[in-house]
Structure 1
């Protein structure tokens, strides 16, 4: 089995799939870092201009400015109720940081590394996983190598299992390398620091109000491990879904199209989850697991991290069962 897994991993590496995903990641990390730096500079300049000062020396001044800006936006009668609820939660979180004397604006490569994955987990990370493993199965059909593969005296289930293990190995490597790329490249822009800065987690929204009863402070490096751990789970789930689709359609291009359109559709379905309760059972609306760590506003009351993780695990288990049954019964030699 180990030899089979090694062979599948080498296939992915020789096809330069991992290299392509890392180049794409490096490009967007650089782009996002530049954008974040420019945004922070503009906000700081606007704040200094409004207060008539030359330099911001106290983070509390910046947080108070953000709170005033949020109050101004909350007074706007034309924003949607969902947007108003999100702003209210963000405002209460900032106020909590201010009251507890915890700086939520620590600048450094650690903060960027965390924020990059929090923004990437819904769409960008799944697309990278899709690029990485989309032809694990369908590529064998497209390249006409599936018949040669199955002529070996190896049970089909072992062949599929080796591809699954290879997918897990490559997704794990991808997550690990994203951390390294984000930390190194962002350090040139923000400086290498902030890894031991306290990060507040445990916020929850109950009846539209912020609940701080379970709030704790953890070092940022530990928080980053939690963020990327949840990202790994999302990546594995997408990997299994991609393998299942590849077994059915037997074409890499169609596999990418189906999975990509499903991911994009998920962002639209989330907007209707309150009106269509059955949508909450689809895995694509539960990809944003990191929002539970930060206490982000949830569109449906009562959905928790445990619920979302359970949903993803159930969908993953279903895709595994379907994949093995279908691959065992398919007539691939005709």
Structure 2
């Protein structure tokens, strides 16, 4: 399957959530959905522990690396390094509204400087053979999205990017926290739909507030090329990802959440053998049975026991018993 087809559904990059353990779990639940790293800054890759920042299991593929930065040369070097680790694509973050990101002049503040974004992506495209994509907002602060977004897409696509994920909200860089920026600014799905009409040659994915696969199918049926789901994919992964291959790609995976838990056990054992701790993996599994009988017991048992010394697969199986006893 080509990468553009995988991108019909993608899991949004989410800080502190979409790490390698989360992605391994998600890949067990969907063979086709495009996964992403947390945002990593270009300077961190150039000067930091590359194996820790970039290493991932081949079983997670296809995975996009999301980069943060605004220096074309740094981004090009970071992209070149990342390509060597086997990522399927490089995604430039033009949407994160946090103060730390703003102070580094990247993230959502780049919506104010599309010519710089164009220079950044052009440098990355020249440095790698894999696709370079962009995740953006519809605008920031007092900008008029109906003017800003088409201009942004025009300038950045002219530099060589043909796939964008658009979070259908403004980012308010002053006065709202990153959490509030995910909920408070109103969604404008229609504007993103209008962009598909203006730029039919671009692959456009919509992001923001999408909580079900039925919603995702609705956007795809209206002509958008992809849908990116964030928090719902993390908090209710069985509802989203276990059904994604059948509903979005027409290729049923046929696994249950219980089977996914058992498939995670060898991965957990390997992680522990390398000096890791159960809680680093199991925290991503808490939502597996959301909405099902026993879900509360599953979450409580993992939360209370995963961080104990020596905690391992037996803790996970004991937590699973809270679900299977009620399902019998």
Give TM-score scaled by structure 2 length: 0.22
TM-score (norm 1): 0.22
Give the greater-gyration-radius structure (CA): 1
Greater relative contact order structure (CA < 8 Å, 6+ sep): 1
Larger helix share, 1 or 2? 1
